[in-house]
Chains A and B, each alone.
Chain A
Amino acid sequence: MATPKIRLEGVHKAFGPKQVLRGIDLEIASGESLVVIGGSGTGKSVLLKSTLGLIRPDRGRILIDGAETQDLSGGDRVGLMKRFGMLFQGAALFDSLTVWENVAFGLIQGRGESRKRAKEIAVDKLAQVGLGPDVAALYPAELSGGMQKRVGLARAIAAEPEIIFFDEPTTGLDPIMADVINDLIVKCRRDLGATTLSITHDMASARKIADRIAMIHEGRIIWAGPAAQVNDSGNPYVDQFVHGRADGPIQMQVRVS
Chain B
Amino acid sequence: MNFLAAIGRTFLAFLAAVGRLALFTLTALAQCLKPPFYPRLFLRQVIDIGYYSLPVVGLTALFTGMVLALQTQAGFSRFGAGGFGADVVLLSVVRELGPVLAGLMVAGRIGASMAAEIGTMRVTEQIDALSTLSTNPYKYLVAPRLVAGLLMLPCLVIVADIIGVFGGFLISVYRLGENPSAYIASTWQALQAEDVVLSLLKAAAFGFVVALMGCYHGYNSRGGAQGVGAATTNAVVSASILILLFDFMITGLYVG
Task: Scan A97-128; emit 1 where CB is below 8 A from any B CB, else 0.
Answer: 00000000110011100000000000000000
The answer to whether A92 touches B126, judged by C-beta atoms less than 8 angstroms apart, is yes
Binds A, one of B64-72, B129-137, B175-183: B129-137
Count residues of B near A (Cβ-Cβ below 8 Å): 14
At the interface, yes or no: A223 with Cβ under 8 Å from chain B?
Answer: no
Binds B, one of A80-88, A130-138, A232-240: A80-88
Contact residues in A for B121 (Cβ distance below 8 Å): 94
The answer to whether B128 touches A106, judged by C-beta atoms less than 8 angstroms apart, is no
The CA of A79 and the CA of B135, in the complex, are separated in Å by 10
The answer to whether B125 touches A89, judged by C-beta atoms less than 8 angstroms apart, is yes
At the interface, yes or no: B140 with Cβ under 8 Å from chain A?
Answer: yes
Q: B120's closest neighbor in chain A, by CB?
A: A95
Contact residues in A for B129 (Cβ distance below 8 Å): 86, 88, 92-94
At the interface, yes or no: B77 with Cβ under 8 Å from chain A?
Answer: no
Contact residues in B for A52 (Cβ distance below 8 Å): 132
The CA of A215 and the CA of B74, in the complex, are separated in Å by 79
Min distance, Cβ B19 to any Cβ of chain A, angstroms: 17
The answer to whether A82 touches B134, judged by C-beta atoms less than 8 angstroms apart, is yes
19 extra A-B contacts, CB within 8 A, seeds A54-B128, A54-B131, A88-B129: A49-B128, A78-B136, A79-B134, A81-B132, A84-B132, A86-B128, A86-B129, A89-B125, A90-B124, A92-B124, A92-B126, A93-B129, A106-B133, A109-B133, A109-B134, A109-B135, A110-B133, A110-B134, A110-B135
Number of cross-chain contacts by CB at 8 Å: 53
Tell me the chain B residues, 104-145 only, with Cβ under 8 Å from chain A.
121, 124-126, 128-129, 131-136, 140
The CA of A52 and the CA of B132, in the complex, are separated in Å by 8
The CA of A94 and the CA of B125, in the complex, are separated in Å by 10
B124, B125, B126, B133: the one within 8 Å of A81 (CB): B133
Min distance, Cβ B45 to any Cβ of chain A, angstroms: 12
The CA of A94 and the CA of B135, in the complex, are separated in Å by 13
The CA of A10 and the CA of B203, in the complex, are separated in Å by 51
The CA of A81 and the CA of B134, in the complex, are separated in Å by 5
Contact residues in B for A86 (Cβ distance below 8 Å): 128-129, 132
B126, B131, B134: the one within 8 Å of A94 (CB): B126
The CA of A88 and the CA of B134, in the complex, are separated in Å by 15
Contact residues in A for B134 (Cβ distance below 8 Å): 78-79, 81-82, 106, 109-111
